[in-house]
Amino acid sequence: MAENDNNIKRGALVVLEGLDRSGKSSQSVKLVSFLENTGCAAELWRFPDRETCVGKMISSYLANQSQLDDHTIHLLFSANRWEKRSLMEDKLKAGITLIVDRYSYSGVAFSSAKGLDFEWCKAPESGLLNPDLVLYLDVPPEKAAERGGYGGERYERLDFQKKVGEKYESLRDSTWKIVDASLPMEEVHKQVKEYVMECVLSCANGKPLTQLWLQ
Ligand code: Z5A
Ligand code: MG
């Protein structure tokens, strides 16, 4: 795909990011059903996609059932996105909006919080599809830790989550909208769907599909 693809009428690529337990998966599900109810074609995607061969290796690592070098797991997360890139492009061009639960920003924020070089972490993500909108669900790590299920997988520690939050801050750009995710779920949904509707309409009217972090 050329960098300056025509102003094609297409679906929107919407990414949800945020600390663990910030509510990304809950809001992604609500968004897709809201879009479907308004007659807009939409699909729910998530990374890691644990169904592929690469995804199964990631899943075993996250559950502490296997050990991998930090660089290796970083590249596996990235490969897991690359293996889905052309399908994502086809869906968007077919007019389907993709609501994506975590993307490249999680990859860079988590790996650089472990101590890997920030720019090195961004490099393998370069050339993936650029989201039209990144919804960052902003919640203090202490508050997220009080929510259900925290502590089960690798990375779910308060000190580490604070570092991840700092790395996310360095990744913000003009596609990001910061959402107050400490509010009750329905309030968060209200904010999120307004941003998404505006984005879906602008993509339906025609918008180039661009690539992430190209030099
Ligand atoms: N990772 C990485 O290192 N590199 C990469 O490239 C990628 C990921 C893509 C697995 O991710 C790990 O992989 C993750 C980053 C790393 N780190 N860890 N650990 P995952 O997406 O599979 O993680 P998860 O198990 O789905 O958890 P999560 O995403 O962190 O949670 P969430 O989706 O943000 O939250 P939720 O499941 O919607 O809600 C959590 C709980 O809070 C639940 O009980 C809700 O009912 C409750 N909740 C949600 N919203 C609210 C509000 N507003 N108020 C009160 N309670 C709420
Ligand atoms: Mg989730």
pLDDT above 70 as % of the chain: 95
What whole-number distance in Å separates Cα of residue 108 and Cα of residue 142? 22
The answer for residues whose C-beta is within 8 angstroms of residue 86's C-beta and 6 or more apart is none
Q: Which ligand is in closest contact with the Cα of 21?
A: 1
The whole-number average pLDDT for the span 6-20 is 95
Q: Where are the beta strands (DSSP E) in 63-214?
A: 97-101, 133-138, 176-180
Tens of pLDDT, residues 104-151? 999 999 999 999 999 999 999 999 999 999 999 999 999 998 887 655
Alpha-carbon distance values, 197 to 13, 55, 117, 158 (Å): 12, 31, 36, 34
CA of 19, nearest ligand number: 1
Say how far apart CA 138 and CA 32 lie, in whole Å.
20
pTM above 0.85, yes or no: yes
What average pLDDT does this structure show over 94-100?
Answer: 99
Residue 101 in this model has a pLDDT that exceeds 60: yes
Residue 39 beta carbon below 6 angstroms from any ligand 1 atom = no
Which DSSP state fits 65?
A: S
142: Cα separation from own chain's centroid: 22
Mutation choice for ligand 1 from 16, 17, 22, 26, CB with most ligand atoms inside 8 A: 26
Among the residue ranges 24-38, 65-79, 150-164, 196-210, the one predicted with the least confidence is: 150-164
Beta strands in 91-189 (DSSP E): 97-101, 133-138, 176-180
Residue nearest to atom 30 of ligand 1 (CA): 20
Domain ranges of the chain: 7-204
Residue closest via CA to ligand 1's atom 22 equals 48
Residue among 20, 135, 156, 183 whose CB has most ligand 1 atoms within 8 A, to mutate: 20
Ligand 1 proximity of 23 Cβ (cutoff 6 Å) = yes
Burial class from Cβ neighbours inside 10 Å (0-12, 13-18, 19+) for residue 35 reads buried
Q: Could you tell me the fold of the domain covering 7-204?
A: Rossmann fold (3.40.50)
